[in-house]
Amino acid sequence: QHHPERSTVHVGPAGAEVAIGPGTFTLLAGPCAVESAQQTLQAAEMAKAAGAKLLRGGAFKPRTSPYAFQGLGLKGLEILADVGTATGLPIVTEVVDARDLDAVAEHAHMLQVGSRNMGNFGLLQAVGDAGLPVLLERGVNATVEEWLMAAEYVAQRGNLDVVLCERGIRTFEPSTSTTLDISAVPVVQATSHLPVIVDPSHAGGRRDLVVPLSRAAIAVGADGIVVDVHPDPEQALCDGPQALHGQELRELATACRKLPPVV
Ligand code: PEP
């Protein structure tokens, strides 16, 4: 839809909304997967201490292997909601199936559609009807145009509160789990009014790349980043090698602040 100026998306309860959009650089952080109440609370406290404004954690985890940890489901949503209340951080979590939508929407302030579901048009339409802001990951095999058309499926339902998330695309390069398409940020901003953030954790799949990729995201003018953090990454049930320890997350936040955002 035509929209002459870049948008800001507001997430969270009325009166305490978090802005994602031009003029701000928003840190979203949390555990890749909700594993327990204690782990989620610790991760959320680490996120908050580093300056994160939103808690992102997965209760429903789409995994490549059906034998891998799939998330705690409804129990995970309840943990997220409790931890959100305890820390004051609004919740962002993924919905993988339209049948779970009501339950997820009841516990979350923002609905994430993951890379694997970016082209799931029925889910996008259902999410568009849910009345909550949406975090739309780019599919690893999707062009920018396909990604923007996925956002249109949400917008067509009357929901313009969509934040795009560049999380890497599949290339021939095996040293990172995907290749962060950093050019996608200004390319999207040239054609879309929607905010765009970067996920340096899933893009690289490597803890040591999270800071440099985050700095790249700031330098290129992204509206924020979403970062995995875990109190004990070595024991994580999902994507431990990319999760930051608390100290690393604090260093990341400091490193980010030293680089002025693009205006
Ligand atoms: C995630 O954010 O937990 C995730 C799995 O991201 P993506 O869908 O981009 O892989």
Residue 26 and residue 156: Cα distance in Å, rounded?
A: 26
Task: Assess whether the C-beta atom of 32 lies below 6 angstroms from ligand 1.
Answer: yes
Residue 225 and residue 29: Cα distance in Å, rounded?
A: 8
Task: Assess whether the C-beta atom of 114 lies below 6 angstroms from ligand 1.
Answer: yes
- If phi > 0 it is left, if psi is from -120 to 50 it is alpha, else beta; for residue 92 that is beta
3 domain residue, yes or no: no
Residue 136 and residue 155: Cα distance in Å, rounded?
A: 12
Task: Assess whether the C-beta atom of 202 lies below 6 angstroms from ligand 1.
Answer: yes
Ligand 1 atom closest to the Cα of residue 58 is 3
Report which of 36, 34, 167, 174 is spatially closest to residue 91, judged by C-alpha positions: 34
Ligand 1 atom closest to the Cα of residue 238 is 3
4 domain residue, yes or no: no
Number of other CB atoms surrounding residue 70 within 10 Å: 18
Going by the DSSP 8-state scheme, the letter that residue 162 receives in this structure is: E
263 domain residue, yes or no: no
pLDDT tens digit at each of 263 positions of the chain: 556 799 999 999 999 999 999 999 999 999 999 999 999 999 999 999 999 999 999 999 999 999 999 999 999 999 999 999 999 999 999 999 999 999 999 999 999 999 999 999 999 999 999 999 999 999 999 999 999 999 999 999 999 999 999 999 999 999 999 999 999 999 999 999 999 999 999 999 999 999 999 999 999 999 999 999 999 999 999 999 999 999 999 999 888 877 665 65
21 domain residue, yes or no: yes
**Domain that includes residue 101, residue range:** 9-258
Is residue 13 exposed (0-12), middle (13-18) or buried (19+ Cβ within 10 Å)?
exposed
With contact defined as beta carbons under 8 Å apart, do 167 and 115 qualify? yes
Q: pTM for this structure?
A: 0.96
Ligand 1 atom closest to the Cα of residue 56 is 2
Residue with the smallest CA separation from ligand 1 atom 4 is 114
CA of 16 to the centre of ligand 1 (A): 26
- Tokens found for residue 14: 């009325």
CA torsion 165→170→174→179, rounded to 10°? -30
| pLDDT score, position 263 | 54
Distance of CA 226 to the CA centre of its chain: 5
Q: How far apart are the first and last CA of the chain?
A: 24
Report which of 5, 12, 7, 25 is spatially closest to residue 224, judged by C-alpha positions: 25
72 domain residue, yes or no: yes
Task: Assess whether the C-beta atom of 115 lies below 6 angstroms from ligand 1.
Answer: yes
ipTM: 0.88
The DSSP line for 11-44 is ESSTTSPEEESTT--EEEEE-SB---HHHHHHHH
Ligand 1 atom closest to the Cα of residue 116 is 8
2 domain residue, yes or no: no
Residue with the smallest CA separation from ligand 1 atom 5 is 114
Number of other CB atoms surrounding residue 173 within 10 Å: 9
1 domain residue, yes or no: no
CA of 94 to the centre of ligand 1 (A): 8
CA of 2 to the centre of ligand 1 (A): 29
> In CATH, what number is assigned to the domain containing residue 224?
3.20.20.70
| pLDDT score, position 261 | 59
What is the total count of domains within the chain? 1
